[in-house]
Structure 1
Amino acid sequence: MTTALNGKLVTVFGGSGFVGRHVVQALARRGYRIRAAVRRPDLAEHLQPLGAVGQIMPVQANLRYRWSVDRAVEGADAVVNLVGILYESGKQSFDSVQAFGSRAIAEAARAAGLGAVTHVSAIGADPRSPSAYARSKAAGEAAVLETLPDSVILRPSIIFGPEDDFFNRFAAMARLSPVLPLVGGGETRFQPVYVGDVAAAVAKAVDGEARAGTVYELGGPEVKSFKECLELMLKITRRQRLLIPLPFGVAELQARILQMLPRPLLTVDQVRLLKSDNVVSAEAERDGRTLTGLGIAPSTLAAILPTYLERFRQHGQYDAHRAA
């Protein structure tokens, strides 16, 4: 239920995406007015029912055009940047979106008189990474902190939830294919974090409950290998599939072909990213730069995955009423 409006306006860049809709809802429940800055406002109308009448308003903004970013930030009391891409397409390159775009948002916020932004990055952001995605994430973080040093950076591990691009993708593959690939042997470790918990962390940062100038690492309560994630997905969807190890070299060769598709199933850059574990660091745990440090109890995979993966069972949600 939406609370009474508090009079403050938050501009959320990337508000119509998977993470965005949960962030918008979390902020709306706290009484903020929300300006969802997106490239296609006509595709963001699904956000408006998440709040009271007139509380959520989509506006057009493209990070490659600074004037549109300035216009989206004008008059805002806080700014959140959720914009990110998993693969490059046309003018949407990692550098233009995740590095240049992040700097544009921070500079626009500074010009509007704000002292900080809340910036969502990713665990694995590293200027020395072999992955262009990870390098651009690191460049975006650096640009934000250089422009507004009091900003809060949130680095989630792989995010799961109803519209995620990981569990849903492999569950869909398991419907049709008798085998599933384990890139790199399936040994890469993840710390999957629920999208609702990431949204809560963003809302706490906007509320001023996060430490200024701090990089938080957001992970769930469990660390699981790539193989263990797929095994759990298969258990929930009640399907038996063969898991085939795919060496990184072979995966890269296949990715060179698959990345030519309009919506790539796998890219070379993603294969390179999978060569490193994606978990919360010991330093972040020690310093309290985690979900728990923000006062958020992370949700488990077992509690959330069945709520949206049951549709991939042989008889959909009706399988829930059949003997296991």
Structure 2
Amino acid sequence: MRGDNSQSIGAGRVVTVFGGSGFVGRYVVRALARDGWRVRVACRRPDLAFHLQPLGGVGQVMAVQANLRHPDSVAAALRGAEAVVNLVGILAETGAQKFASVQAGGARAVAEAAKTAGISNFVHISAIGADPQSRSAYGRSKAEGEAAARGAIPSAIILRPSIIFGPEDDFFNRFATMARYFPVVPIVGGQTKFQPVYVGDVAEAVAAALKGRANAGETYELGGPEVKSFAELIDYVLKVTERRRRVLKLSFGIGKLVAAFTQLFTTLSLGLFPRLLRMTRDQVELLKKDNVVSEAAKAECRTLEGLGIRPQSIEAIVPTYLYRYRETGQYQAQRLSA
């Protein structure tokens, strides 16, 4: 079941979305605008968020400048708002963007500012794998961000998605690009399981939470209808893109060694080392654990289905954007029939 089309849910009220100009953000903004919210997108570069304005009516979506390191700008972004969504997060550390400052400190800054502003309708996006005992800095920082959000606002709703996919994703697109240019596709942790979730479903979960469909103070785990191993997902990419490539399955030990070299080359090249080939030791550590919805979350209905959302499958969505990686793109069918 998808979100309804009512324009009265938000009733012109203001919701501030931190990190709304990114991949997940554009879908969240669209879902909230559809529900009638006036969406204020708080980001460091408002001039790069103009693409969000057509997602709502005239004047319904507005970008404002906010830096999580500057409390005054965060407070200003929340002025007059009745709800807050925090989407800020990074997949790897670069320069001054560290896990501790962005995913832990950033969540704390937004939650404390929301508390000061008297806002209790708060949705925080975390990730499956958030764990204060994790050997991964990413996993620990996500858990710290959750604790900070819940500490400031006990009623905060936390959403933990598995790998998020969609037309602009950095998972299926990345490996499809590798398959286009290289004869070998290397992966670490081929047996690690994932439960990819469509970005539109994550946005619907945010909208549902702000509508009051989620239980206050609960943590929801978001996954799609299929659980597949890393190797199975790569095989699927090769099938959809119609590429014959060898999948090189590296052990975690070799993976960490390769990651150490790519991190070194990235530093020595001042960031010019191809992003497509980058991998970090922290990412390898994350791959040691399955990234799927827990049995506890299923039993307690803390899932997409529990929010009244029927998750989309990768088969229904992924081919609609991976076709462009085929040898002749959208004209492949014509070539085969010629």
Q: What TM-score do you get using the length of structure 2 for normalisation?
A: 0.93
| Aligned counterpart for 1:275 among listed residues 277, 288, 300 | 288
Answering whether residue 220 of structure 2 is matched by residue 216 of structure 1, we say yes
Counterpart residue number, 1:295: 308
Counterpart residue number, 1:140: 145
Query: CA offsets, 1:45-98, max 9 Å, x none?
Result: 100011111100011111111111111111101000000001111221101000
Counterpart residue number, 2:206: 202
How far residue 3 of structure 1 moved from its aligned partner, in angstroms, is 4.1
What percent identity do the matched residue pairs reach? 63
Counterpart residue number, 2:330: 317
Structure 1: gaps spanning 5 or more residues: none
Please show how residues 163-202 of structure 1 align to structure 2 within 5 Å.
163-184=168-189, 186-202=190-206
Structure 2 counterpart SS, 1:83:
coil
Q: Residues 148, 116 of structure 1: CA spacing in aligned structure 2 closer, same or farther, 3 A cutoff?
A: farther
What is the distance in 1 between the residues matched to 2:43 and 2:74? 10
Contact 2:16 2:77 in 1 (8 A): yes
Contact 1:116 1:149 in 2 (8 A): no
Contact 1:23 1:199 in 2 (8 A): yes
Counterpart residue number, 2:297: 284
Counterpart residue number, 2:130: 125
| Aligned counterpart for 1:252 among listed residues 256, 259, 271 | 256
What is the distance in 2 between the residues matched to 1:321 and 1:156? 38
What is the distance in 2 between the residues matched to 1:37 and 1:257? 36
Structure 1 counterpart SS, 2:318:
helix
How far residue 320 of structure 1 moved from its aligned partner, in angstroms, is 3.6
Answering whether residue 313 of structure 2 is matched by residue 308 of structure 1, we say no
Structure 1 counterpart SS, 2:293:
coil
What is the distance in 2 between the residues matched to 1:194 and 1:293? 16
Answering whether residue 68 of structure 2 is matched by residue 63 of structure 1, we say yes
What is the distance in 2 between the residues matched to 1:60 and 1:318? 43
What is the distance in 1 between the residues matched to 2:213 and 2:78? 22
What is the distance in 1 between the residues matched to 2:70 and 2:312? 38
Contact 2:121 2:210 in 1 (8 A): no
| Aligned counterpart for 1:39 among listed residues 28, 33, 44 | 44
Query: CA offsets, 1:191-223, max 9 Å, x none?
Result: 000000000000011111110000000000000
Query: CA offsets, 1:108-137, max 9 Å, x none?
Result: 111111124100000000011110000000
Contact 1:2 1:51 in 2 (8 A): no
Counterpart residue number, 2:229: 225
| Aligned counterpart for 1:51 among listed residues 47, 56, 60 | 56
Query: CA offsets, 1:224-260, max 9 Å, x none?
Result: 0000000111111111110111111111111112224
Contact 1:2 1:28 in 2 (8 A): no
Structure 1 counterpart SS, 2:158:
strand
**What amino acid maps onto 1:231 in structure 2?**
D
What is the distance in 1 between the residues matched to 2:22 and 2:123? 16
What is the distance in 1 between the residues matched to 2:120 and 2:163? 29
Answering whether residue 124 of structure 2 is matched by residue 111 of structure 1, we say no
CA RMSD of aligned residues (A): 1.4
Structure 2 counterpart SS, 1:48:
helix
What is the distance in 1 between the residues matched to 2:87 and 2:242? 34
**What amino acid maps onto 2:195 in structure 1?**
Q
**What amino acid maps onto 1:159 in structure 2?**
I
Q: How many residues get paired?
A: 323
Q: What TM-score do you get using the length of structure 1 for normalisation?
A: 0.97
Q: Residues 6, 287 of structure 1: CA spacing in aligned structure 2 closer, same or farther, 3 A cutoff?
A: same
Structure 1 counterpart SS, 2:297:
helix
What is the distance in 2 between the residues matched to 1:33 and 1:259? 42
How far residue 6 of structure 1 moved from its aligned partner, in angstroms, is 1.6
How far residue 322 of structure 1 moved from its aligned partner, in angstroms, is 4.1
What is the distance in 2 between the residues matched to 1:27 and 1:60? 20
Structure 2: gaps spanning 5 or more residues: none
